[in-house]
Amino acid sequence: MLLTSVILILQETLEAAMLISILAVISRQQQRKVTWLPAGLLLGGILALLYAANMRSISEWFDYVGQEVVNASLQVSIALALVLLTWLVCATGAPGSSGQSRPGPRRDGRFAFVAALTISLAITREGSEIAVYLGGFMQQPDKLQAVLTGSAIGAGIGISFGFLVYYGLLALRGQRGAWLPLLLLGLFCGNMLSQAALQLTQADLLPAGPFLWDSSGWLPENSVLGRLLYALVGYESRPSALEVCAYLLGVSAVLVSATLARVRR
């Protein structure tokens, strides 16, 4: 039970940790406050518990595909929020460049609001799975200790990974330091849209297509590297054409938003 919970909690934590780290780096680069973090964590935690507590009835919505519809809605909302965040970031000053003016207090507030909302939505989906998982062991006291220990280890590794990404990105200087966080934000946005497309395909609300490619032979998704890449950039070994299109749409949306905001500035 211990190892299972380590892997499970780690998988669910990685994605949110990654998103929080990228947003924290962008905030630091623009001398913004990170007040959105505790607010987003709190709101996300509450929403995750609410989602988990109502999982059974939500699953029955829309002829038993309520879970997919809710998850896809969360993912599309996160993607939209990331496009908006990119705009706010790029409209106020080149991230990482020295001698930039500090963003005005009003813009700062808007960024903090959207950032808090974004991470709370990311935590809602991943956190609800953790809550459902742990909730199942509340009636099994004999296994609870192993599960909680494993979960703590998994969460610890996930959070450490977040810090690694955070300090790694902060250490980058110049153009690379400015563009890499934005590019990762774009990949995250693409990942969200492609996951939403997958959820809706699973619910039979979008048509299923053949796999566009199959790279499971040389990089299986259940390998350590495969799972890490899944959390980092949404790696999928057998994606459909629809998922790939959704992914590219998400990446381009962030890049276009960044470019337009800079041109207008």
Footprint of another protein (CB under 8 A): 4, 8, 55-56, 59-60, 63-65, 67-68, 128-129, 132-133, 135-137, 139-140, 198, 201-204, 208, 210, 216, 220-222, 236-239
Q: How many CA atoms lie within 13 A of 42 on its CB side?
A: 5
Instruction: Find the Cα–Cα–Cα–Cα dihedral 78, 82, 85, 89, rounded to 10°.
Output: 160
CB of 243 to another protein, least distance (A): 8
Of 178, 176, 209, 39, nearest to 117 by C-alpha is 39
CB of 2 to another protein, least distance (A): 12
CB of 121 to another protein, least distance (A): 17
Query: Nearer Cβ to another protein, position 30 or 237?
Result: 237
Give dist(CA 28, CA 31) in Å, integer: 5
Query: Nearer Cβ to another protein, position 45 or 177?
Result: 45
Query: Nearer Cβ to another protein, position 64 or 163?
Result: 64
CB of 192 to another protein, least distance (A): 15
Query: Nearer Cβ to another protein, position 108 or 243?
Result: 243
123 touches 40 (CB < 8 A): yes
CB of 149 to another protein, least distance (A): 16
Tell me if residue 223 falls in helix, strand or coil.
Answer: coil
Give dist(CA 48, CA 199) in Å, integer: 18
Give dist(CA 157, CA 179) in Å, integer: 27
Query: Nearer Cβ to another protein, position 164 or 241?
Result: 241
CB of 225 to another protein, least distance (A): 14
CA 129 to chain centre: 14
Strand partners for 240 = 211
Give dist(CA 213, CA 247) in Å, integer: 15
Query: Nearer Cβ to another protein, position 132 or 260?
Result: 132
Query: Nearer Cβ to another protein, position 102 or 238?
Result: 238
Q: How far is CA 222 from CA 12, 160, 258, in A?
A: 14, 21, 34
Please give the sequence-ordered ranges of beta strands (E in DSSP) within the chain, or none if there are none.
Answer: none
Q: Which residues are CB-neighbours of 164 under 8 A, at least 6 positions away?
A: none
CB of 4 to another protein, least distance (A): 6
